[in-house]
Structure 1
Amino acid sequence: MDLSLARLRMLRELHRHGTITAAASALHYTASAVSQQLAQLERDVGARLLERRGRRVQLTDLGLLLAEHAEEILASVERATQALEDAGESVTAKLTAGVWASVASGLLPEALETLARTHPGILVRTRELPPEATAAAVRDGALDLSFVLDYSNSPVTWDRGLERAVIAVERLYGCVPAGMLGAATVTLAELAEHPWILAPARSHFGHAVRLAFQSAGVQPRIDHEVEEQATAMAMVAAGLGVTLVSDLGLALRPPGVDIVALADVFTRTVSLAYRTNTARRAALLIVVDAIRAAAVAKGLGADMSKPDAVPAQNGAEVRGTWR
C-alpha cells in the first residue's frame, strides 16, 4: 500500500476542521480538489474512509484510525526533515512564510537579502494572508512560519501548540491630509472629529482601533472601510478622511499625507509563529534571526513608552511626545 503524504495531510485537516470546505481553505486548495484526492486515498487504502451524513462528510471508523496515524506520520516526517538539516554541513531548506503587505515590504527585503548572502541554501517563499489567518495556517501545517500581531489594547489568545518569537514593536501614528494639522501631536479624540478610513471591525486592526476609541470616550464617523494600510493612506492623500498607520506601513506612504505622533500610547507587537515541534529546526531559527535583525536595523525594538521621533517626512524629522 502506497500512501501519499499530501493525501494524508488532507485527511488530517478534514479530521481537524470537520468539513471538506474548511480543510480545503486551511490547505489553500479548492474543495473539489480535496474531494478528488480523498477519493483517491480511499482507492489506495481499498476501504471507505468517508461517509455522507446529509450534506456533511464524516470519517468512518477506519478513516478516524488512519487520521490518527496520519498525525504521527506527518510529525515523523517533520522530525526527519529537521534531523537531516541539522546533520548537513550547510543548512538547506525551503520554508513558506505567511505575510501581509507591510511586513512583506518593510522587513522581508532586507532579511531575504541577508539570507541569500549568508545562507544561500535556505529558500523562503511567502504567501499573503489576512493577519488573523496566519497563525491557524501554521498550526494546520500549511505554513512553516507566519507573522502575527498583538495590539497593546487587544492581545490575542496564544495557541499552545505554537512558539512565538517577538520581532518588532510598532507605533501607531495619525495619518492625515497634508497641511490639515499644525500640531506635532494629536489625540484620538481630536482625530475623531474628522471622517475616518479604517479596516473592518472583523479584522484585528479594525477591532483594536475601535476599542481605542471607546477608551477615549469618542465614536468616530467611519466613511470608508478598507483592508490595507496602503489603500487607506492613498485615500487620505485624496482628502477622503484620516487613518492610523504603523511604522512598517510607513514604507507604503504616498505623497500628500502628514504623519503625526499620537499622544495616546498605542502600539502593536509583530511576532513570528511556528509549530512547537519545529522550534529547534535550524533553518527556521536562522530565518527568524534574519528577520529580527532587519527589524532591529529599523529601530523597531525600542521601548515605545519613551519619547521618540516620528520617522522622516519629506526630508524633515517631525518630533512628538509619547506619554
Structure 2
Amino acid sequence: MELSLHRLRMLRELSRRGTVTAAAASLHYTASAVSQQLAQLERDVGAKLFERFGRRVQLTELGLLLTEHAEEILGSVERATLALEEAQETVSVRLMAGVWASVASGLLPHALAALAGEHPGIQVRTRELAPEDTADAVRDGELDLSFVLDYSDAPMPWDAGLERAVIAVERLHAAVPAGAVPAGSASLLELGEHPWILASPKSHFGRAVRTACHRHGFEPKINHEVEEQSTAMAMVRAGLGVTLVSDLGLGLRPPGIDVVALTTPLLRTVSIAYRTTSSRRPALQLVIEAVRNAAAALGLGTEPALP
C-alpha cells in the first residue's frame, strides 16, 4: 500500500470540515476534484473510509484510524522539513504566505525585494485571503505563515497551536470627502453625523469599527457595505460617506479625499502567524525580519496594541 500525502491532507480536511464542499473550499480545489482523490484513497487502502449522510459525511472506523495516522504522518513531514532546513548551511525553501490588499501593496514589495537580495534561496509565494481567514489556513497547513490583525476594540481569538510575531502597529484614520471635516482632527462621535461606508459585521474590521462607535455612544449610519479599503475610499471620493483607513491602507488612497486624525486613537496590530511547530524554521524567521524592517522603514513601530 502506498499512501499519498496529498490525499491524506484531503482526508484530514474532510474530518475537520464535515463536508466535501467545505474541505474543497479550505484546500482551494473543486468538490469534484476532492471527491475523486478521496475515492482513489479508498481504492489505495482497499476499504471504505467514509459514508455520506445527505451533504455531510461521517468517517468509518477505518477512516478515523487513518485520519489519526495522517495527523502524525503530516506532522512528521513538517518536522523533517525543519530538520533539513536547520542542517543546510544555506537556506533554500519555498514558503506560502496569506496576505490581504494593504500588506500586499504596502509591505511585501519592499520586504521581498530585500529578502531576494540577501537570501535568494527563499521564495515566498502569496495567496490573498480575507484577514479573518488567514490564521485558520495556517493552522490547517494550507499556508506556512499569514498576516493577521488585532484591533484595540476587538481582540481576535487565538489558536493554541499558533504563534505570532508582531510586525507593526497601525493607527486608523478617518477618510472623508474633501472639505467635509474642516478641522485636522475629529472624534468618532463627530463622524457619527455623516453617512458611513464600512465592511460588513462578518469581517473583523467591520466588527471592530462598530464596537468602537458603540463605545463612543452612537450607531453608525451605514449606507454602503464594502470589504476593500480601496473601494471604500473611492466611494468617499464620490461624496457617499466617510470611512476609516489604516496606515498601510493610506497607500491605496485616491486623490481628492481628506485624511483626518482621530482624537482618541484606534489601533490595530499587524502580526505574522505561524504554527508553533515551525517556530525554529530559519527561513520563516528571515521572512519575519524582512517584513519588520519594511514596516520600520515606513515609520511603523512594533509595540502591540493588545497585551
State TM-score, norm by structure 2: 0.97
Closer, same or farther: CA 121–302 of 1 in aligned 2, 3 Å:
closer
Aligned to 2:166: 166
Partners of 2:302 and 2:40 in 1: CA distance: 53
- Superposed counterparts of 1:198-209, under 5 Å: 198-209=198-209
Deviations 1:154-189 (A, max 9, x none): 101111000110111000001011122221110111
Partner of 2:29: 29
Task: Tell me what 2:236 maps to.
Answer: 236
Check the 8 A contact 1:24/1:34 in 2, yes or no: yes
Q: How far did 1:304 drift?
A: 9.1
Q: Report deviation, 1:55.
A: 3.5
TM-score by length of 1: 0.92
- For the pair 1:250 / 2:240, whether they are aligned, the reply is no
**Contact between 2:166 and 2:304, CA under 8 Å: does it hold in 1?**
no
Q: Distance in 1 between matches of 2:110 and 2:227?
A: 25
**2:94 match: secondary structure:** strand
Answer yes or no: is 1:10 the counterpart of 2:27: no
Change (3 A) 1:260 1:290: same
Matches within 5 A, 1:129-278: 129-278=129-278
Report if aligned partners of 1:19, 1:57 keep a CA contact under 8 Å in 2: yes
**% of aligned pairs identical?**
71
Q: Is the 8 A contact 2:100 2:129 kept in 1?
A: yes
List structure 1 segments (4+ residues) > 3 angstroms apart after TM superposition: 302-305
Instruction: Give the equivalent residue in structure 1 for 2:102.
Output: 102
Q: What is the SS of the residue equivalent to 1:155?
A: coil
The answer (yes or no) to whether the contact 1:186–1:263 under 8 Å persists in 2 is: yes
Deviations 1:29-59 (A, max 9, x none): 1111111100000111111111123432111
Indicate the residue corresponding to 2:39 in structure 1: 39
**Bigger mean CA deviation after superposition, 141-150 or 55-64:** 55-64
The count of corresponding residues between Structure 1 and Structure 2 is 305
Compared CA separation, residues 303 and 132, structure 1 to 2 (3 A): closer
In 2, Cα distance between equivalents of 1:94 and 1:76? 18
* Code of the aligned partner of 1:252: L
Per-residue Cα deviation, 1:107-139 (whole angstroms, up to 9, x for no partner):
100100011100100000000000110000000
Aligned to 2:55: 55
Partner of 1:283: 283
* 8 Å contact kept, 1:85–1:92: yes
Structure 2: any 5+ residue segments left out of the alignment? none
Moved more, 177-186 or 271-280: 177-186
